[in-house]
Amino acid sequence: MKVRSIPAKALDGAAVGELIRDMWDDEGQRLSSPLLFEDVRHRGTPEEWLPRICETAGIHTVEYIGGNSPRTKVADTVYTSTEYPQRETLSLHQELSYETRAPEVLLFVCVNPPSMGGETPVCDAGELLSGLPDSLTERFAKLGVRYRQHLPADERRPGKTWMAQFQTESRSECEKHLDERSLRYWWEPDGTLRIDRDRKAVRHHPRTGHPLWFNQADQWDIGMSMNQRQLSVFTRMFGPDAAPHSVTYTDGTTIDMGDLRLIKQTAIRLADKPPWERSNVLVVDNRQHMHGRMPFEGDRQILVSMGDFGGGE
């Protein structure tokens, strides 16, 4: 799969939004490949004109409530891209694939490109499903994935607090979000919130019916971002159950680390990795396509909005 590049120097945000909507409709409410609008002409700050693109396209943007990634809200429904350390590679994934419903579309805008690296790799989730061993994909399809979260009540513990994840200081408001998502959760005496989500690992695209790799197992296992020594130190400092997030199959059995590494490596190998330039806009069908982030140097700033066309399905 290749990203479709569209010269956009003569286009303002409204014109880009109209093109996005036309292409989405022409392909039957989907995108066969991500769209990269190059050098979009705009007025004002990116956090002002990104919402205008979404509005013109007919995209109803949503808040990033319940999301696991560390990011900063810069305006209504406009966020920084995932704030992982620069040296790390962010596994390819569909945004909020661990929720009951993921947004249809993502829009990224480049405010400041990195001096080196920092691409947003994108791959086709159907191609990834086909590119992995049948024994692996069949096992994931049969067992599904259990995402586990450990959300502390203050920042002295590792990971996002439950207040940051659900954007509220109210426990009752937090529980409302949890109940709306039909999540299993419990509170510990120190105010820590624990959540379990059981989700399918393979889903079908709602428009085409084609099966897609649709999970973030390789991103949620803490062992994928720590070596054995780092994991040992972390466990001694915070305890064996303090990982902000972890993953198993839905029957509670461990997912093989070798399988997780193979998933991550295969997705990166299949991905297109166009370099970022200032004022470029990347549009991704969040069901068909997976995205990540390559390591980088310099002051990289990418903003993102997410949502549904016409309010979703």
pLDDT tens digits along 100-153: 889 999 999 999 999 999 999 999 999 999 999 999 999 999 999 999 988 989
pTM of the model: 0.92
Q: What is the pLDDT of residue 313?
A: 46
CA quadruple 212, 68, 72, 272: dihedral positive or negative?
A: negative
Q: Are 99 and 312 in contact (CB under 8 A)?
A: no
Catalogue the E-assigned strands of the chain.
4-7, 35-38, 59-61, 73-75, 78-80, 90-93, 105-112, 116-117, 122-124, 145-151, 184-187, 193-199, 202-204, 211-213, 245-249, 281-285, 289-293, 296-297, 301-309
Greatest distance between any 2 Cα atoms in the chain: 58
User: Would you state the structure tokens that stand for residue 154, as one six-digit string?
Assistant: 């203050």
Q: What is the pLDDT of residue 227?
A: 62
Residue 304 has phi, psi (to 5 degrees) of -145, 145
pLDDT tens digits along 184-204: 999 999 899 999 999 999 999
**Residues forming beta bridges with residue 284, ordered by sequence position:** 106
**Residues forming beta bridges with residue 124, ordered by sequence position:** 289
Low-confidence ranges of the chain (pLDDT < 50): 312-313
Q: What is the pLDDT of residue 245?
A: 84
Q: What is the pLDDT of residue 168?
A: 92
